[in-house]
Amino acid sequence: GFLFLQGHVVRNWKVRWFVLLQDKLLYYKIEGGKKEPSPKGRILLDGCTITCPCLEYENRPLLIKLKTKTNTDYFLECCSREERDSWALDITGAIHAGHPVQVQELHRMKNSFKLLENISLHNIVERMYDSSTGIKLTRNLDQGNRYKETFTGSALVDWLISNSFAVSRFEAVTLASMLMDENFLRPVGVRSTEATRSSDPSEKFLDDSTALYMFAESSKKNTSSKEEVHFNISELSGTIVKQGFLVKQGHKRKNWKVRKFVLRADPAFLHYYDPTKEDNKPVGGFSLRGCLVSALEDNGVPAGVKGNVQGNLFKIITKNDIHYYIQASSKAERVQWIEAIKPLT
């Protein structure tokens, strides 16, 4: 699948098509919407160590870090937390494939929890407040309301793991729930507040990128009414239904570029981002109301499509008759995107 890889000479981020084998991770360039036949590079997994979550880059929270036994660092960026964790699990399995005892230990650690000795909840909160290494506080939007100095549930889980307070997401969620029960943290927004009413203690804290939390002693939420929110903000406030990397044909130059697509509902919009840019703002998007979406056959190049494309194409026609041609990485992924978009049109 598609991942972003940081260059070793020029520290920019380039999209690459990654293939995980038993002992190595290959990556390929995409030119003209098609994968090149020979790999651009390879990461040997023997003796490799993996860090996930990796929080070395403040504005890139979805990183995996691989350090080879020759001490070469590779930073891989995923599109979503779920995708990152799936890649990390598969890569970890490949690294330890020849060491069944280590695999058993990994499973044991994932399914057990014990608060580290000599670590108190007060100490964890103090570390969270640290201006350089603590949890990053940001402005967030929920149901048209803007909140200051908040963090998401998944961001806290990542932080707890990266700071060695927990070794698995299950442990981190348990620890975060304890912090909330002891009134160090409080939920803000609809999703996280509703979760606290659950009778299951394990479901009171959400490991989710849309669930918002803040320090309990922080000032009360500063919000603005829905009427005051700018239209562009309102269309970005919908619930994220699906996200992932897809290849999109440009409208003017007709070239193919990998973009991060985010599908939202209520309101229903499809936005796309340039992952090489740091500002995390969409470079395009459109309302899905009145759109038509359909798969395109892979035998031959359909009219309107330029270049020798890989395949797995689908087309979206907006109610203003603008045509978007998009490539998925597989037929199954194409079906998933079409099925996710159709109910929102």
In the 8-state DSSP scheme, what is residue 90?
H
pLDDT score for 43: 94
pLDDT score for 201: 64
> Which is nearest to 176 in space by CA: 214, 148, 222, 129?
214
Task: Note the pTM of the prediction, 2 decimals.
Answer: 0.64
Sign of CA dihedral 34, 40, 44, 50: negative
Exposure string over 143-178, b if 16+ CB within 10 A, otherwise e: eebbbbebbbbbbbbbbbbbbebbbbbbbbbbbbbb
Question: Could you tell me the domains of the chain?
Answer: 2-110 (2.30.29.30), 121-220 (1.10.10.10), 233-342 (2.30.29.30)
Between the alpha carbon of residue 125 and those of residues 74, 128, 163, the distances in Å are: 31, 5, 12
Averages of pLDDT over runs of 10 residues in the chain (345 residues) are: 86 89 91 83 92 81 90 91 86 78 54 53 85 86 77 92 87 87 83 79 82 75 38 71 90 83 91 80 89 80 69 90 90 93 94
pLDDT score for 226: 39
pLDDT score for 224: 42
In the 8-state DSSP scheme, what is residue 227?
G
- Residue 114's Cβ-count burial label (10 Å; 0-12, 13-18, 19+) is exposed
Sequence-distant (6+) residues with CB within 8 A of 245 are 1, 2, 3, 15, 79, 258, 259, 260, 261, 275, 329
pLDDT score for 218: 60
pLDDT score for 225: 38
